[in-house]
Structure 1
């Protein structure tokens, strides 16, 4: 089952037009993701210009990826896919995400599974080519507070945020790239908190063991991220790419050099496209004159134009001539990193990408980048919307069935509450008791009239008993009303619990909950179940019924 994104609040108009009215936005993208011919055209163009102006070869890219993935606990299938990249008929299906704790929110796992599944689909469509899934680890962001925590439902089914802080201290601002952050002794407190909050199941011990295996004191968070992902994805053959690696930064030098030499051209391309669409759509990207950062003393700083045609680092007094910065790029490539404008260009310059799996925001920001791709002479890939999913548990399914409500009903909590409670309250207790009391009193009066001539004393005794019984009506009515109120409170609590399961923090489940909640409850093979149920070509929001999964406790 699936739900149109038009029924889900908070989804950008550009994304819904991309899904349901593609002709409106066709000119903003290079290829049509809905058709086989769109992929075919992208493949042909990529064949013509991949590494055409590059200072590296396919073999060198494969060598770097091999060396990186040795550290990530990958399967043999991953190394087989890396070897395929050496061949000219091999292309990449790419996705990526910030390096979050324990993979971050569920959509990270969905992206990875979509990349694997689309690679398989394209292999069937185009049997003369190879397609391999690649996960680009966005590990140079410095938004540590965005990635240092996970959310799960705890033992009392409450939404619980579990955070990790270096040295156990929270800062207001972080400028250190995630790529150089190592776990310290406080990582054990994080894992202990997770173990204490997870609902105890037959699988909890194994889940926590996997976490402890990868998140250990002294390990880089990026290595822990990739290792953990591979532990739960098992033999999917996903290739991880770490863009902070000095060797791969060498491959980026052409793009960074051109950005420095030609600025603000890339910025102007984004501004030009933005001006064309800003009246219709909300813009995702605000470009800078230079779309790059420089890492100084382990902190990441924006590179920006300064006085006298010099370049400098924001908030510092350091200055460079343009040529000097290009020379530094040659000697210290690891000190340069991209922002959101250049990141896709770097990805698709280094890799033979034919498709990028992106969520709603990513699909939207690619709409502003077509001119930037042309500026750098890099093929813009097919932008393929990732599968979007809410997982339906048994308790949710049972609630839906009992109260005749649906996923879309649950979007508006107040409306669904009124619907459910009105169905329960359709019995008017006060009216029932009033009618019954009136009928009882009328019938009692008739009895007394007929019985009194026979025996006045017995009739008085009957009358006294009848009056006592009459007095119980108010008591019983109050008890029934109280019972109804308790039932409503119980239903309201259940409703809030179900709403919180589907929209934790008023967001889609996939954007809040970590996959460990589900793996702990339903076992690691839940990944295989999800992979099987994902429908790549249903571009609505999908509902996957976890009650259909057989839990294997082995």
Structure 2
């Protein structure tokens, strides 16, 4: 593959907040402590402290989580190294998508691994461990129960409820595996060997990235949740995050940015087998929605201390939990993630938890040989690929038409005729001038209608070219969405087993331009 880049504004998929984060850092500095550059990491590293006792718990918990998984020497060394105060993590997180889900899941992890490598080269006195945080406690199964491959959608049909990481890999998964016979064996082994979705995801992600030392963390863990108990109790009883996030959000909105997350009085779910439901407070009693469970404050705090895994932080507190148990110096995410992390700094400050560098992952598009040929035949630039189809079609027809479709000269001449008629008529009878003006308006409408017919005729003559134009857009933006949010990596990996390895050479997590990768013929 060869690489070229396009500025983020060309893609049409970035929020104003994301653009400002890249382009106008000064405006948003109050919402994060430093702009992500290698030089600025120095202060973040020096100020990031995690107690040795917590580090030991983290390392022990990870060793238990990896039990039965064939790990590389790099992963084993990284897990052991987390006990050292000279070791830090670089983290990304994502849902437990089937067969990795959309391409950007791969991009997130490659960006994270590359950042850890760059930091290690810039600060050789420290060790930097790339981490993938599994969203095993998420309950939005509809977002992850499918993947797309070559235009087809493959779905896991199961009716299980609760935290998706606990979903059993039953006969319904076996049915899906038979349907997707084209997937590599390591996927089949991961889903057949393990009993839960979280176990399968750990298995296949480790297969894809283990040699690079990627450490996979499952936050749904008794030992790790115990480290979060003091904050869990404080939030359940006092609910400080709600006011703190709202205050930060108001400041962002005053700058013209929309909120990405909306806090609640209580930002925890209650977890049990088949259940992940919101906890609400009603007249001093804590209730679990959609169940008959209720707790007094005393009962709730007792349960937190004894069974912290019964409590799952929502999007407002999950980042805080993550940073409470990891010696983390950077978090890489997509546009929405970058935006909502900026709403959270007040919560971090309140609980005296170090706030990491917040960084956008790399964004990329892959131009297949077929897409290249079609785009080249149409003389489309990389920038034009990101233009809305209707606008692109209009511009293409305009630039390739045999005549001026705007009829600018004709309109100018026609207007001049009626304006002169108005002058001449006014000399005879002043009341005739408005009639001439009205006649001009009608005539110009007739001309505009003719221009529309002329454009339609040109479009018919360009039918083949416009069909190819639509095909190019559909290849790179399937269904109108960016390729990386729709296509699965298998569309490229099955044809090129070195696909992921090649991405490492093209992705620079500190370069925020959009990447276009061109397939070799």
Q: In the TM superposition, what whole-angstrom CA distance separates every residue of 1:398-456 from its partner, at most 9, and x where no partner exists?
A: 222221102332332123334555676659xxxxxxxxxxxxxxxxxxxxxxxxxxxxx
- 2:287 match: secondary structure: strand
1:514 matched to 2:488: yes
1 CA distance for matches of 2:10 and 2:400?
A: 27
How far residue 371 of structure 1 moved from its aligned partner, in angstroms, is 0.6
Select the residue among 70, 74, 77 that pairs with 1:77. 74
- Write the mapping of 1:134-173 to structure 2, written as runs, cut at 5 A: 134-153=131-150, 159-166=151-158
- Write the mapping of 1:133-532 to structure 2, written as runs, cut at 5 A: 133-153=130-150, 159-166=151-158, 175-195=161-181, 207-216=183-192, 219-263=195-239, 265-279=240-254, 280-307=256-283, 309-410=284-385, 411-420=387-396, 426=402, 488-523=462-497, 525-532=498-505
Cα 1:400–1:257, aligned 2, differ >3 Å: closer, same or farther? same
2 CA distance for matches of 1:3 and 1:341?
A: 33
Whether the 8 Å CA contact 2:397–2:459 is kept in 1: the answer is: no
Instruction: Name 1:42's counterpart in structure 2.
Output: 44
How far residue 212 of structure 1 moved from its aligned partner, in angstroms, is 1.2
Q: In the TM superposition, what whole-angstrom CA distance separates every residue of 1:521-553 from its partner, at most 9, and x where no partner exists?
A: 222x111011111122220211112227xxxxx
Q: In the TM superposition, what whole-angstrom CA distance separates every residue of 1:132-187 from its partner, at most 9, and x where no partner exists?
A: 1011001111100000101122xxxxx22111111xx6xxxx75110210122122
Between 182-191 and 237-246, the greater mean CA deviation after superposition: 182-191
Cα 1:517–1:186, aligned 2, differ >3 Å: closer, same or farther? same
How far residue 216 of structure 1 moved from its aligned partner, in angstroms, is 2.0
How far residue 286 of structure 1 moved from its aligned partner, in angstroms, is 0.2
Unaligned segments of structure 1, at least 5 residues: 154-158, 196-203, 428-483, 549-554
2 CA distance for matches of 1:218 and 1:66?
A: 17
TM-score of the pair, normalised by structure 1: 0.79
How far residue 27 of structure 1 moved from its aligned partner, in angstroms, is 0.6
- Write the mapping of 1:3-82 to structure 2, written as runs, cut at 5 A: 3-36=6-39, 38-47=40-49, 50-51=50-51, 56-82=53-79
Cα 1:275–1:422, aligned 2, differ >3 Å: closer, same or farther? closer
Select the residue among 527, 536, 539 that pairs with 2:509. 536
2 CA distance for matches of 1:485 and 1:326?
A: 69
How far residue 10 of structure 1 moved from its aligned partner, in angstroms, is 3.8
Between 339-348 and 328-337, the greater mean CA deviation after superposition: 328-337
- 1:377 match: secondary structure: coil
- Write the mapping of 1:116-131 to structure 2, written as runs, cut at 5 A: 116-131=113-128
2 CA distance for matches of 1:402 and 1:124?
A: 43
Cα 1:238–1:400, aligned 2, differ >3 Å: closer, same or farther? same
1 CA distance for matches of 2:461 and 2:187?
A: 41
2 CA distance for matches of 1:423 and 1:385?
A: 37
Cα 1:86–1:267, aligned 2, differ >3 Å: closer, same or farther? same
Whether the 8 Å CA contact 2:165–2:196 is kept in 1: the answer is: yes
**Aligned residue pairs, count:** 463
Q: In the TM superposition, what whole-angstrom CA distance separates every residue of 1:15-58 from its partner, at most 9, and x where no partner exists?
A: 1100111111111012221351x2111112113xx238xxx431
Instruction: Name 2:447's counterpart in structure 1.
Output: none
Whether the 8 Å CA contact 2:332–2:358 is kept in 1: the answer is: yes
Unaligned segments of structure 2, at least 5 residues: 404-457
Whether the 8 Å CA contact 2:366–2:519 is kept in 1: the answer is: yes
How far residue 128 of structure 1 moved from its aligned partner, in angstroms, is 0.8
1 CA distance for matches of 2:129 and 2:241?
A: 30
Cα 1:507–1:74, aligned 2, differ >3 Å: closer, same or farther? farther
Between 294-303 and 133-142, the greater mean CA deviation after superposition: 294-303
How far residue 257 of structure 1 moved from its aligned partner, in angstroms, is 1.7
Whether the 8 Å CA contact 1:233–1:527 is kept in 2: the answer is: no
Instruction: Name 1:442's counterpart in structure 2.
Output: none
Whether the 8 Å CA contact 1:191–1:208 is kept in 2: the answer is: no
Aligned-residue CA RMSD (Å): 2.3
